[in-house]
């Protein structure tokens, strides 16, 4: 087997299962999970109807490139959402549908990296674990940029040594961030584009949470949006990843896209004709319907705002919690170490959260996820209120 497999850490939820294996939760309380970021809001009816009405697609092999109608819908959505120059995002050259961004992020890294002892993939810390695993299995090393409260959970890119940029082949940006919800502003993204030009690395922006945000008038800035602002209409060395999992409550449909530099999308398409699974035709038609509708997305945001407001009102007297600008995660510091907090909360309140240390790696003596927990506010409003009430009761008992 590939020796790089030995470098992979157990997935966070494997660690969580091991941590809580011996716990007997309080039986009088119904289980509530805020551990996994799996949206529980209803799937849009228009999407479900599109799947049902296009089941004849089961009789056809889907193409890797996907239906032009889907790629056009994605281009239209992204152009409108991010203020791109008309026709600059060509559905024939700049867009590729994928089976969820997890698969695409991993596969893109394999296609891009030229393996060597010096090759680096730079990522935030804490981070989505696929960045790390993709780097190792592509024959590169991950380089972690600590995201702490002191730097607003945005990496200090100015502190990165030149030698790191010189060996960097791929920089992952996660904005809005998982688990922190922090958002990169346009000035920071411009800085990263300039660094990409100077050191010739690819800038990959994971924007899966871009459509879940607090201020309806100020959605998170996207990488392609900044490219358009500076006249970089070829999107050179820039790609973005988007998904319907969070935006449209469709984690089980496995539908997303990668878009950006045609010089990267073309070779990646070639790679995926060998490696990647094509999206089923009925899911492509349903995805087209989802990208063409904003009403359900607005309703979705309103539900998350309601939950954040209620949960923070309950927790603020006992925990140092603030609402993030985007995403559906509450990244909360714990009064005791995060693993003990997670175990005690499950045992006494039958409530699951994820220890922050499982989402980060120690760098220069600092483990930035330690003594935090990630709470995914994906359950119903009533369940989230109940969860917050239980968490407060547990904190007050410590």
**Nearest alpha-carbon partner for 125 in 154, 161, 101:** 154
CATH T-level assignment (fold) for domain 3-42+296-397: 3.90.1150
Over the stretch 12-44, which tens digit does the pLDDT of each residue have?
A: 999 999 999 999 999 999 999 999 999 999 999
pLDDT at 44: 96
End-to-end CA distance of the chain: 47
What share of the chain in percent tops pLDDT 70? 100
Over the stretch 192-250, which tens digit does the pLDDT of each residue have?
A: 999 999 999 999 999 999 999 999 999 999 999 999 999 999 999 999 999 999 999 99
pLDDT at 256 over 80: yes
- Do 56-293 and 3-42+296-397 fall under one CATH topology? no
pLDDT at 196: 98
Q: Which two tokens stand for residue 335?
A: 């009064």
pLDDT at 148: 97
Average pLDDT for the chain: 97
- Give me the residue spans of the domains in the chain: 3-42+296-397, 56-293
Is-above-0.95 flag for pTM? yes
Q: Which two tokens stand for residue 172?
A: 């992952």
pLDDT band at 51 (very low <50, low <70, confident <90, very high): very high
Over the stretch 344-372, which tens digit does the pLDDT of each residue have?
A: 999 999 999 999 999 999 999 999 999 99
Residue 59 C-alpha from the chain's centroid: 33
Residue 246 C-alpha from the chain's centroid: 9
> How far, in Å, CA of 247 to CA of 386, rounded?
24
pLDDT at 66: 96
pLDDT at 300 over 80: yes
pLDDT at 277: 81
pLDDT at 275: 86
**Nearest alpha-carbon partner for 80 in 177, 198, 211:** 211
pLDDT at 126 over 90: yes
Who contacts 26 (Cβ-Cβ below 8 Å, separation ≥6)?
Answer: 347, 348, 349, 350
* CATH class name, domain 56-293: alpha beta
pLDDT at 330: 98
> How far, in Å, CA of 284 to CA of 291, rounded?
11
pLDDT at 276 over 90: no
Question: Taking residues 111-127, what's their average pLDDT?
Answer: 97
**Nearest alpha-carbon partner for 171 in 137, 197, 209, 210:** 197
Angle at 213 between CA 73 and CA 226, to 5 degrees: 60
With beta carbons less than 8 A apart as the criterion, state whether 344 and 395 touch.
no
């Amino acid at each position: 087997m590939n020796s790089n497999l030995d470098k992979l850490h157990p997935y966070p939820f494997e660690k969580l299962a091991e941590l809580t294996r011996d716990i007997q939760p309080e039986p009088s309380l119904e289980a509530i999970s805020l551990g996994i970021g799996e949206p529980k809001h209803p799937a849009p009816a228009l999407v479900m109807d599109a799947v049902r009405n296009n089941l004849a697609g089961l009789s056809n092999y889907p193409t890797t490139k996907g239906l032009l109608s889907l790629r056009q819908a994605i281009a239209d959505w992204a152009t409108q959402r991010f203020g791109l120059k008309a026709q600059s995002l060509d559905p024939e050259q700049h867009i590729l549908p994928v089976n969820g961004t997890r698969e695409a992020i991993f596969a893109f890294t394999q296609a891009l990296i030229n393996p060597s002892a010096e090759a680096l993939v730079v990522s935030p810390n804490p981070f989505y674990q696929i960045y790390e695993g993709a780097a190792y299995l592509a024959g590169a090393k991950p380089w972690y940029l600590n995201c702490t409260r002191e730097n607003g959970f945005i990496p200090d890119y100015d502190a990165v040594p030149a030698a790191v940029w010189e060996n960097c082949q791929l920089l992952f940006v996660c904005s809005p961030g998982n688990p922190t919800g922090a958002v990169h502003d346009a000035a920071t993204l411009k800085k990263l584009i300039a660094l990409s030009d100077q050191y010739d690395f690819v800038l990959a922006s994971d924007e899966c949470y871009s459509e879940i945000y607090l201020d309806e008038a100020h959605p998170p800035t996207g990488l392609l949006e900044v490219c358009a602002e500076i006249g970089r209409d070829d999107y050179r060395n820039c790609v973005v990843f988007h998904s319907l999992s969070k935006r449209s409550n469709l984690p089980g449909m496995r539908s997303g896209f990668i878009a950006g530099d045609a010089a990267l999308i073309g070779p990646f398409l070639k790679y995926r004709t060998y490696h990647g699974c094509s999206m089923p035709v009925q899911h492509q038609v349903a995805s087209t319907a989802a990208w063409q509708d904003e009403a359900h997305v607005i309703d979705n945001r309103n539900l998350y705002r309601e939950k954040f407001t209620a949960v923070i009102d309950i927790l603020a007297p006992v925990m140092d919690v603030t609402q993030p600008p985007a995403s559906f995660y509450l990244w909360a510091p714990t009064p005791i170490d995060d693993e003990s907090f997670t175990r005690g909360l499950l045992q006494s309140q039958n409530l699951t959260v994820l220890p922050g240390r499982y989402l980060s790696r120690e760098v220069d003596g600092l483990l930035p996820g330690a003594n935090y927990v990630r709470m995914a506010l994906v359950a119903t409003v009533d369940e989230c209120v109940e969860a917050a009430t239980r968490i407060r009761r547990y904190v007050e008992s410590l």
